[in-house]
Structure formats: C-alpha cells, structure tokens
Structure 1
Amino acid sequence: MSSASRVFFRSGLSLGAEKNLYIDKAIVVVNKPPNFLSQYENSDPDFDTLDCHAAQLISTDSGVSTPLYPLHRLDKETTGCLAFARTLPAARTLSQQFQTRTVSKIYYALVRKGIDSFGGSTQGSIKTCIAYKNGYGHLSETGQGKEAITEWALVGSSSNVPLSLVRLNLLTGNKHQLRIHLAAALGAPILGDQRYSQTVPIEPLRRLLPTSKSSEAPLFLHASHLSFFRYRKNGGKKRFRLGIQAPLPEQFLQLCLKAGIKFDPELAQGGVFIDNKPVEDGRVPELDGQYLHIS
C-alpha cells in the first residue's frame, strides 16, 4: 500500500510517500509539512505555489489516479493531519461532519508562558467571537464576527524558560483561531508566531530554538489527531470513530527535551485508532485502510 501513497499538485510540488499517514477507499490523510499551502489565499504572496482545490492526484498501485477533494485546511506554517476525500460522495459525507462539528481535531502547541503564569489553572475553555480585517483576526468585544471555541489543557512546562506544552481541542474551525485565542485570550502566544505576538522570545528561550533568529523560527503548532465517524460494511456496530495521529515533528520533540518538558512518548509515534483504541498493525479491514508509518 505504501507504494500507492504519492500526492501530486498542479505546481509540480509533491508530498512523497514519507509524508502520507493513512489511506483507504474513501480518504487519504497526509502529514503536512510546514510552509506548505493547503488552500487558496489571494492575500498570500505564494498564492500560486499550491492549489489544493483542483487537479490533485493520488497514484495507486494499479496506476489509476483519482482526484482529491479537500475537507479542511491548515495554516501554511502548521504541521500535521490534513485529510482529503477520494470520491465526491465521501467528500460530501465527511464535509457534513466538519460542518456539524462531529469531527475531533486535536492540536499541540508550544506557548511562551511558564506554569506560574497560568494562575493555577491547568485547563479551560475559550469562547469568543473573532472578527477579521485585511487577513488578520482579532477578538470582537461587540460580539460581531465568527463564533470561536477552543478547549485547552496544560500538558507540561519548563522549569528553565517560559515555555509550556498545551493540548488544544478545536471545536470551531476559524482562520487562525488557535493562534488568536492563545495570544489574545490566554496570553500565551505560540512560539514562532510572528503575526499575533507583539514581542520576541527572551534570550534563554531563543538559544534553544533551531535557529538563532526568532524571525526564522518555525511555528510550533501541530495538528496531532483527527477523527471522524465511519461505517462498517457488514455486521456488528456499524458506526465507529476512526482516528489518525501524526507524530510530533522532530524539532518540536527536540525543543521539549531541551526545555525539560515532559510529554507522552506516544505523541512521537503516530498511529490509527478505532473508537479511541490504537490499532497495533495499522490495518482497518472494514475500510480497506492502512496506516503507512508503523514504527
């Protein structure tokens, strides 16, 4: 199956097999790298680099190519799970799940805030309205704009630098929602976010970054886990929740280790899940599915 997984784009740029996570008869999920466009943005200077809304192909073992239908989007700088439907009926069914908020979208972020700055809170919910102007979003004090809901939980913090790992449940899918909520509502901007952070990291934190220039640091925001309802062909409980997990990027893991932030080692592995339970061999026979990166 792994030889089947190569996604091509009109620009000639490709995501090789090593970037694919999971494939079945209806969907393909890729591990999106940073600085890779997943949507059309007229305001983006790299507008012509990638068009995920047309002319995308996935090659199969049989040599047959099928169009891909985008189901959601990720910011250019964000890494992790990005799903496409392989058929129009699947696109319609899964898109409806996104619209009705039955899709679970879990992210992890490294934020510029130490444990003492959370005021004793280890989790919470942020519910605001976000208004947009010229491509930038801001919290709306008048209640105008788009409803935005984010649940957050503190995973761990560094004892040496103001840096914490947070788990994020994205309940609505507005543009830059997590970046805005963390910076403006929680007071914890995502490390590497040049758009919604007004300050640069302090010197001890900059020394831990993969580049000495804060303006060149990656955005430490990762779409870790994506799950939605699927249906078995025959017998038993027909509806089940299929989950796909993309391993945390190497730079993300290394920074956590340097800063002394503890995390679940499973986050580095990735995998496929049925009803929240890991599938050891990565195979989903009900869907003719296969996770492509078993460690």
Structure 2
Amino acid sequence: MKIPKFTELILFENDDLIVVNKPAFISTLDEREGGEINMLRLAKQYSDDAQICHRLDKETSGALIIAKTPEAYRSVSMQFEHRQVKKVYHAVIEGTHVFEDLFIDLPILNTGKGNVSINRQEGKRAETWFKSIKFYKHYTLVECKPVTGRMHQIRIHLATQQAAIAGDEMYRGKPVFLSALKRKYHLGKDQEEMPIMKRFALHAYEVTFKLLDGKDVIIHAPYPKDFETLLKLLDKFDS
C-alpha cells in the first residue's frame, strides 16, 4: 500500500489543530505489533508535538482531529468528554432500510482483543442516530450520528437492525461484487473477481467542534475513491 503524503490529507489547519481525511487501512495509533505506519507517526513527522484526539477504526476513512499543542489536545479532549463534538458518518448498508431519525440506545461491552458485544447489564451507554439518505434496490446509504464514542459503535448498532455495513464481515456484512449488480458480467478466464471495496463501507464524513478561540468549525471530508466508486456503481446498476 502506498503511504500518502501527510500534507495531501489535510482538510483544515491552524496553529493549534489539524483535521485530516484519514485513508482506510492506516491505524490511528500504534497497533500491538508496533512497526507499522500509523496516523500518529505521520502526524509527528509533520508536527513534533502532534497528538491524536480520537480514534477511527483502521478500515474507516474520514475526518480525524489532531492537536499540535497540549492546550489544543486538552480542549478537544474535553469537548469529546462532554459530547460537544458532533460527528457524522456515512455508511452503505445491506438491504433497503427506511430510518427516519432512528435512535439506538444499546450498551456496548468491550470484550477485549478488538471485540465488542451488546450487553445491557455490563455494557457502557452507547447512543447513535440513523437517517437514510439514499435508497438502492439492495442497499441504503445512511447517515450515522454517534452521540457516544464506543468502539465499533456504529457497526454493531446497525447490525442489531439487520442492517450490517456492506463488507463488514465481523458483523455479517458481505462484500459487494460487481457481478451481483451488473447483468451479463463476464470475468476473464482464470481471473478472480475482487469486491468493489476491499473494506467495510464506513466513512467519517463530517466533524464539528470548537477552536481554542471558541469559534465553531465544521470540517467535511470528501469520500475516498473506493467509497465514491461503490456509490457510482450502485447508482448505475442498483437504483
């Protein structure tokens, strides 16, 4: 995988903070193995005191806030703690689902090793709003607004609605193949068909928070190529 130039990922920057459009397949922080490239390392090469203010799953793309100073890190961390940061994600889910401001309030328990479960007794409070944006024959583009920030929150909350994110095999989502959408799709001899997206279809689309001077800023992260391609093909062959 080609390591992107950090400067090409920047959506917003001032003296205190940077917001980047995180590519998929790059971890936010060090994974257990160490060694591999991650957003924190890329940020520190760009700005010595960089600290990451929140996490995105490795496969999730989109808006990620990075502080350049300890004051900025404290400020944004407090906003997250008090649920003042507004996050909007877009996901492509399996099936046609009409979510009109659907509110899911199901506690999530982190069971370790990157696994979580819904657990009403021991789980931590987890709340997400869902709204359908666009309908296809076999899929729906959904806006997801997490109020809390639990691990895999959007993914597992959607799975409870029999609406797994396309390609999210951990929660029974299946990859999308062009052959399933396009009639008379022919694969060359000895060719193996690859899914349209090699990851689950979740993108951190927008983030709203306060700068150190108290001004609100809304940062919008454009879709990466794979997400855009999936939507274009759904428009063409599944609408």
Q: TM-score, normalised by structure 2?
A: 0.83
Task: Tell whether 2:221 aligns with 1:246.
Answer: yes
Structure 1 34/123 Cα, relative in aligned 2: closer, same or farther at 3 Å? same
Instruction: Map residues 211-250 of structure 1 onto 2, 5 A cutoff.
Output: 212-214=193-195, 217-232=198-213, 239-250=214-225
- Structure 2 gaps of 5+ residues are 186-191
State the shift of 1:220 in Å.
0.9
Whether the 8 Å CA contact 2:167–2:174 is kept in 1: the answer is no
State the shift of 1:52 in Å.
5.2
- Structure 1 gaps of 5+ residues are 1-12, 60-64, 233-238, 262-295
- Say which SS state the counterpart of residue 223 (structure 2) adopts: coil
Instruction: Map residues 22-171 of structure 1 onto 2, 5 A cutoff.
Output: 22-42=12-32, 47-50=34-37, 56-57=43-44, 59=46, 65-114=47-96, 118=97, 121-133=99-111, 134-140=113-119, 142-159=120-137, 162-171=138-147
- Say which SS state the counterpart of residue 57 (structure 1) adopts: helix
State the shift of 1:107 in Å.
0.3
Q: Distance in 2 between matches of 1:53 and 1:19?
A: 13
- % same residue: 29
Q: Distance in 2 between matches of 1:131 and 1:219?
A: 22
Which of residues 145, 148, 163 in structure 2 aligns to 1:188?
163
Q: Distance in 2 between matches of 1:175 and 1:105?
A: 14
Instruction: Map residues 238-277 of structure 1 onto 2, 5 A cutoff.
Output: 239-260=214-235
Structure 1 156/55 Cα, relative in aligned 2: closer, same or farther at 3 Å? closer
Which amino acid in structure 1 is aligned with residue 51 of structure 2?
A: Y
Q: Distance in 2 between matches of 1:228 and 1:187?
A: 32
Whether the 8 Å CA contact 2:99–2:130 is kept in 1: the answer is no
- RMSD, aligned α-carbons: 2.7
Which amino acid in structure 1 is aligned with residue 200 of structure 2?
A: L
Q: Distance in 2 between matches of 1:101 and 1:15?
A: 31
